[in-house]
Structure 1
């Protein structure tokens, strides 16, 4: 949608594609519930007023809220395709996910990553990708591929690829392992997710200084608080096996809420609903 068109639609000079009227807007910017309308053109919200529109839907006072975003998830754990995953989570309010295709990459290598990227196109679910950083996770594994920074680099040309997924090899970071540092350097201008259960003190500081900015492995409040104090984003995980919401939620306050996000990490099919 061109800039001029967007302005013309918002000003009412051209019709919007769709108008939702008689809605209660859950406004997360102002912390209010406001009665009004929502005008949409080409998948963009252009106005919160009842402007001329090609199609009008009366929501009869229903609430409209922003969708949930899962900050870190391995769709493979659900044992369904990306398309079927979208069918399960979108009707329940999740409209965007950040995936780490670590499992399929361990089996199929770069072919598996490309499959996940391609499968996520043209869906009602926005799927963003973090490139798996540890394939295999351990040299003692039997894996279908070994991915280097050189193997991962071309994927940064994909619009859906954001950065480098959880750096599970935190000992490799702390010991300056060349292959680990090469991947971090490759993604230095992009987000790099962490995976550092129990890491604390100067070891945590060193891990963060490498450019790693988030962690979803906190299981106790003290661990999460140290990571937030040192500038990390903490993803509060509530998955099938790991459930950390009750332990970590008391830490979230208006003053630090922007340092927390929610993720599922791994969810089995019966837990998607």
Structure 2
């Protein structure tokens, strides 16, 4: 950030200078304190610099409309929506989802690196921010007859892409806790770049769960009840809650 830009941001935050944009009379969803604040929102450049009473070069009266941060979908397979990037953006952005973390597992199982490259290309330069986790299990199991095989060597160059955040749902929990060398190499490649490994381990428990987390797996989105979720949470995993479209298990979660 340039010095002049930093000074403008500070001055606008103090109210010494007009903000570029002020959203007047907003009801602000404060996700830090679980409160609804009524105030103006001051924006300088592309940054919110203050909440309170402000004036700006441009002012928009929201008349009490709610303002909340953009929602992030932490795990999704865009290709399973049957939409390409721009059409998917049109579907989710109006509902408040401003960023997604996608795992192109499905298309990569069919088309390999060509499918992965297609997803990266068709989600560039959208208003929706699209980040990627690299598919960890292509094919999903050694018994599957899919259209492609992706090994650690093929995935390794993609960690240099700033939109690639890590290694996606490590569904081969069985191989992970038994030190399958192909899985371990993918984990090492990911963690050595300082990126993260997502989990996918339904009903994994006890010492196998300990081993899975010791391997570096930081999350899980496959819990089916509170007991499973709490066991994983107690061991330090982040738990993603999502209702199964077939199970309809939101109440249990």
TM-score (norm 1): 0.84
Which ranges of structure 2 fall in alignment gaps of 5 or more residues?
A: none
CA-to-aligned-CA distance 1:10-45 (integer Å, 9 cap, x gap): 345654332211111111222221111112234321
**Map of 1:75-94 to 2, 5 A cutoff?**
75-94=78-97
Structure 1 residues 233-242 or 57-66, which shifts more? Answer: 233-242
Does 1 or 2 have the higher relative contact order (CA < 8 Å, sep 6+)?
Answer: 1
Which residue matches 2:210?
A: 205
Which residue matches 2:199?
A: 194
CA-to-aligned-CA distance 1:71-102 (integer Å, 9 cap, x gap): 11111111111221121112112222111111
CA-to-aligned-CA distance 1:158-180 (integer Å, 9 cap, x gap): 11111110001111101111110
1:227 equivalenced with 2:237 (yes/no): no
Residues 19, 50 of structure 1: 8 Å contact kept: no
Superposition deviation, residue 239 in structure 1: 4.4
Distance in 1 (alpha carbons) for counterparts of 2:217 and 2:74: 15
CA-to-aligned-CA distance 1:160-201 (integer Å, 9 cap, x gap): 111110001111101111110000011123211111111111
Q: Secondary structure at the match of 1:48?
A: strand
Residues 26, 67 of structure 2: 8 Å contact kept: yes
Which residue matches 1:264?
A: none
Residues 213, 231 of structure 1: 8 Å contact kept: yes
Which residue matches 1:260?
A: none
**Map of 1:44-63 to 2, 5 A cutoff?**
44-63=47-66
Residues 12, 42 of structure 2: 8 Å contact kept: no
Q: Secondary structure at the match of 1:80?
A: coil
TM-score (norm 2): 0.90
Which residue matches 2:20?
A: 17
